[in-house]
Every structure is written in structure tokens, then in C-alpha cells.
Amino acid sequence: MKIIVGLGNPDGKYKNTYHNVGFSVVDFFAKQKNLKFNKNKCKADIAVAENFVLAKPQTYMNLSGDSVYELKKYFKAKLEDILIVLDDIDQPKGKVRFRLAGSAGTHNGLRDIVAKVGVTPRLRVGIGRDVTLDLKDYVLSTIDEQSHEILEQSKLKACDLIEKFISGELCQDITV
């Protein structure tokens, strides 16, 4: 069973922010697969398919490891079968990067997952960085219209890579 975890913050006020791009990607993928997030289990909203689970932790970003730990345990998943989908300020807007492993970088949600669960594959969606704003202010800001269009294209790329991850075709680092 593959587990695809989109990172974000559960409070509605964060819905259209850069930090919720992970939620946005798994929502988009769920829509493509005609799945609904209709269960709350392991501190996450989940949608269950035959060979994969989509999850959106409801623990707030910096405590994402709590939910991922519970998901791993409940579904008896191996680390290599858990894909974390997250925003990445170190990638230009529109870039999507899959990595089998690596550091958490500047992302506190991924840091918490690595500390509590271990290193898993990750799919980073580039959101760029506005150097005129404090990092926290930027990632929690509302996505502007121009960036929205770029990120919509990123979702398509990300969903293609998620599909390949689920099928086992994705076995090396790639940037698209």
C-alpha cells in the first residue's frame, strides 16, 4: 500500500497559501481519481483507493510527523512506500522535484517527519521565494493570480509523478 501525504495546515484560513500546496496537489489528484477525503484516521483526512491512500495531516505543518507516524503504523507501510508532497521555497515556481531521499532542508514539516518517522521519498513543488518578505510571512501568504496559474501547471506535473510513484515506475530522482 502506497501512502501519499500532502502537507499543509488544516485551518481554512490557510487554504490558498503557498504552504498548503501539498494539500492542493493531493486534492487535485483525488479529484482526478474521483476519490473523496471521507475518513479521519491517524490525525489525517484520508481517501482510500485499492492500492494507495491519500492523506492530509490535520496536525498543522510543524507537527506533520505525528500523523505520518500513525499512518505508517496503521497501514503497515515501509518508508519507501510513503511519498510526502510539499511546497519548496528553494525551487523556482513551477518546478516539481521528486527525490527518493535527502535532507529536510528548510521545511519544518518535513523536518518533523524525518525526526519522527525517518527519510521517505518526497515530491517538492517549487513556490519560489519573495525575498522582500520574511519566510513565514511568504509561505503563509495567499497565492497571487500569476503564481496560481504557474502552480496549476505544477499540479499536473506532480500528479503525473504521483501516478508513477504508485505504479512503481518512479525509481530515481527527477525534476520536471
Q: What is the CATH number of the domain that holds 57?
A: 3.40.50.1470
Place of cell 513565514: 136
Task: Identify the pLDDT of residue 107.
Answer: 85
Task: Identify the pLDDT of residue 105.
Answer: 78
The pLDDT tens digits of the residues spanning 57-87 come to: 999 999 999 999 999 999 999 999 999 999 9
Cβ-contact 30, 163 below 8 angstroms: no
Q: Which domain holds residue 114?
A: 2-175
How many folded domains does the chain comprise? Answer: 1
Q: Is 148 a catalytic residue?
A: no
Task: Identify the pLDDT of residue 130.
Answer: 82
Query: Which of 2, 19, 93, 157 is an active site residue?
Result: 19
Residue type, 15: K
Q: Which residues of the chain have pLDDT under 50?
A: none
Task: Identify the pLDDT of residue 155.
Answer: 96
Enter the DSSP assignment of 107: -
Enter the DSSP assignment of 7: -
User: Given the DSSP bridges, would you call strands 96-99 and 174-175 parallel, antiparallel or unpaired?
Assistant: antiparallel
Give the C-alpha separation, 139 to 15, whole Å: 12
Tell me the longest C-alpha to C-alpha distance in the chain: 45
Please report how many Cα atoms fall inside a 13 Å half-sphere around the Cα of residue 89, on the Cβ side: 21
Residue type, 130: D
Task: Identify the pLDDT of residue 12.
Answer: 86
Query: Hey, which bits of 127-166 come out as E strands?
Result: none
Q: Residue 159 is inside which H or E element, if any?
A: helix 145-167
Cα 107 to chain center, whole Å?
A: 11
Task: Identify the pLDDT of residue 74.
Answer: 97
Task: Identify the pLDDT of residue 129.
Answer: 86
Task: Identify the pLDDT of residue 68.
Answer: 98
59: helix, strand or coil: coil
Task: Identify the pLDDT of residue 49.
Answer: 96
Task: Identify the pLDDT of residue 71.
Answer: 98
Cα 171 to chain center, whole Å?
A: 18
pTM here?
A: 0.95
Task: Identify the pLDDT of residue 106.
Answer: 75
Q: Residue 54 is inside which H or E element, if any?
A: strand 52-57
